[in-house]
Structure 1
Amino acid sequence: MRLLVDPTFDAPGRRYSFGWGTSSVKTAGPALDVADLGPLDAVLLTHDQHADNLDDAGRRLLPSAPVVLTTVAGGRRLGATGLAPWQTATVGGVEVTATPSRHGPAWSVPIVGPTTGFALREADRVVWISGDTVVFPGVLEVASRFAVDTAILHLGKVQFGLTGPARFTMTGRDAARLCAHLKPRHVVPVHYEGWSHFHEGRAEIDAAFPQGALTWLTPGVQTALS
């Protein structure tokens, strides 16, 4: 199976509006070109309203994917399959369940819009992709519903000057607290670099976890998880 999450393939250097006076500059390009991806079984799109999750080149790629799973609102906008929290679809032999996600403080939801995570189950193995979220009861519920083997966590401590100290994704400390509930075998940090609105990088994330607890990915390099 080849599943692509949140395709962004634009070149770096451009500033993108995120709405309500916020914006971010893309500071790094993709590790692979679209032509090098190979055939896709599905695209898992945590949300379509922000360019760091779906940019112009990523949007052009979507029609080539046989299945696109996303939020209910995103599904309506894109003509894709929209899943509400805890709804399930099957891609090949993988059961894909949408999981709750809240992209910031509770007050920001009407402004930021809906997001989702994805729990992927094959046999007795579960890989959970958090999506862009903070820690809130819906995310903690994942631990009560799934025995997560691998947690792929969107981090980076997203902040904007206009919204002050409000955070729109998890910090390393948030992720460590969440993993105390999940107890996954593997923790993979993603979505913490390549854009100017990220305010916490590898050093801060690493410091929040016991030494050796995290699996770090190198862009463009295949990583095998046992």
Structure 2
Amino acid sequence: MRKKYVNLDNISTNKTFKDMMRWQRERKSKVKDLSVNIEQCKNKMVKELQENRNNTTYTWIGHSTFLIQLNGLNILTDPVWAQRMGFQKRLTPPGIPLEDMPEIDVVLISHGHYDHLDFPTIKQIKGNPQFFVPIGLKSLFLKKGYHRVIELNWWETVKHEGLTFHFVPAQHWTRRSATDMNTSHWGGWVIQNQVETFYFVGDTGYFPGFKEIGDRFHIDTVFMPIGAYEPEWFMAASHISPEDSVKAFLELKAKLFVPMHYGAYRLADDTGPEALERLYREWEKRQLPKEQLRVLLIGETVTNGGC
């Protein structure tokens, strides 16, 4: 029998068929404006990214996909360029076409949900990347023909080409078929060199683990999810709200908040602009420094400038 993975304190994210039906009834009564989407960056640094092997940069491709250039390596988080997610069409194009991306050295996977692990995308990635995946996922990659795969459990660490990668807890779940519910883990990735520490949270509800992660690491930049939270009675255990994402940021004691996981796919009832509005409102309510919040346009690169 395959091992099943669980959240801290055995927090359950399971929902019943009755819960699903209630959500669908509620969704029909909501009127959402899906015509307003997150803007694309007008000054994309495609050529610079292709040639860069010296400067530290990060670029938001969309949803939970970032290109991080660090220590001369090109790192992709949860690479998904899919034009559809289930029955839903992608709301905004990826920030950089996949064919224009540089060769990739490292791919980080947070968990196995299709909006975070898309093998048609992975098949088209340039280069011969090293994959770091949650424990339980390596066998799937091997079946797909990918052999440069290292799987980690929570709090495990691996060093690669001058960087250190830590797999840290999240509160979520995963499933790719009718028979593999929670048979692989889920989590986030802390990426360190001698100068900076980045934390890619992955997909999560708010949970006490943020405090421990903040105590263990001195985090400079956190890539934090803010979308797919509505209705909150259904989503809260597995998807963090904008307000709770700010609370988590403060517990992490990080220096910079970069929001993600909003605006690309309609996975829940909230929209990208709604998530951003709530994030800004909470930031102002707590009177946090404006310079600690870096909201990116799709395809925007942070280096010494931006859009």
Shorter-chain TM-score: what band?
0.7 to 0.9
What SS class does the counterpart of residue 73 from structure 1 fall into? coil
Instruction: For residue 51 of structure 1, report the CA deviation from its aligned partner.
Output: 2.1
Q: Which has the higher contact order (CA 8 A, sep 6+)?
A: 2
Q: Which amino acid aligns with 1:204?
A: R
Match of 1:107 in 2: none
RMSD: 2.5
TM-score calculated relative to the size of structure 1: 0.82
Q: Which amino acid aligns with 1:221?
A: E
The 2-side partners of 1:65 and 1:207 are apart by 43
The 1-side partners of 2:208 and 2:77 are apart by 24
What SS class does the counterpart of residue 29 from structure 1 fall into? coil
The 2-side partners of 1:207 and 1:142 are apart by 26
Instruction: For residue 159 of structure 1, report the CA deviation from its aligned partner.
Output: 4.5
Match of 2:200 in 1: 129
Match of 1:115 in 2: 186
Match of 2:278 in 1: 204
The answer to whether the Cα contact below 8 Å between 2:110 and 2:187 also exists between their aligned partners in 1 is yes
Task: Tell me if 1:78 matches 2:147.
Answer: no
Instruction: For residue 117 of structure 1, report the CA deviation from its aligned partner.
Output: 0.2
Match of 1:89 in 2: 158
Instruction: For residue 72 of structure 1, report the CA deviation from its aligned partner.
Output: 0.8
The 1-side partners of 2:150 and 2:125 are apart by 12
The answer to whether the Cα contact below 8 Å between 2:107 and 2:130 also exists between their aligned partners in 1 is yes
The answer to whether the Cα contact below 8 Å between 1:10 and 1:56 also exists between their aligned partners in 2 is no
State which structure, 1 or 2, has the greater radius of gyration over its C-alpha atoms.
2
The C-alpha deviation readout for 1:68-90, integer Å capped at 9, x for no partner, is 11111122211321110111112
The 2-side partners of 1:129 and 1:142 are apart by 12
TM-score calculated relative to the size of structure 2: 0.62
Match of 1:7 in 2: 79
The C-alpha deviation readout for 1:106-141, integer Å capped at 9, x for no partner, is xxxx95663110001111421111110112123321
Q: Which amino acid aligns with 1:114?
A: H
The C-alpha deviation readout for 1:2-45, integer Å capped at 9, x for no partner, is 1101111122xx341xxxxxx75532231112221111110111
What SS class does the counterpart of residue 184 from structure 1 fall into? coil
Match of 2:294 among 200, 212, 215: 215
Distance verdict in 2 for CA 1:155–1:63, change over 3 Å: same
The 2-side partners of 1:211 and 1:157 are apart by 26
| Counterpart mapping for 1:158-173 below 5 A | 158-159=229-230, 165-167=234-236, 168-173=238-243
The C-alpha deviation readout for 1:130-154, integer Å capped at 9, x for no partner, is 1101121233210110011111112
The 1-side partners of 2:194 and 2:289 are apart by 30
The answer to whether the Cα contact below 8 Å between 1:156 and 1:191 also exists between their aligned partners in 2 is yes
What SS class does the counterpart of residue 79 from structure 2 fall into? coil
Q: Which stretch shows the higher mean deviation, 59-68 or 71-80?
A: 59-68
| Counterpart mapping for 1:131-210 below 5 A | 131-159=202-230, 165-167=234-236, 168-198=238-268, 199=270, 200-209=274-283, 210=288
Instruction: For residue 164 of structure 1, report the CA deviation from its aligned partner.
Output: 5.1
Q: Aligned residue pairs: how many?
A: 210
The answer to whether the Cα contact below 8 Å between 1:95 and 1:121 also exists between their aligned partners in 2 is yes
The 1-side partners of 2:239 and 2:79 are apart by 18
Match of 2:116 among 53, 60, 80: 53
The answer to whether the Cα contact below 8 Å between 2:228 and 2:261 also exists between their aligned partners in 1 is no
The 2-side partners of 1:152 and 1:122 are apart by 17
The 2-side partners of 1:84 and 1:139 are apart by 17
Where does structure 2 lack aligned partners over 5 or more consecutive residues? 1-72, 143-148, 174-179
Distance verdict in 2 for CA 1:52–1:76, change over 3 Å: same
The answer to whether the Cα contact below 8 Å between 2:153 and 2:185 also exists between their aligned partners in 1 is no
What SS class does the counterpart of residue 201 from structure 1 fall into? helix
Instruction: For residue 177 of structure 1, report the CA deviation from its aligned partner.
Output: 0.9
The answer to whether the Cα contact below 8 Å between 2:259 and 2:295 also exists between their aligned partners in 1 is yes
Q: Which amino acid aligns with 1:4?
A: L
Q: Which amino acid aligns with 1:150?
A: T
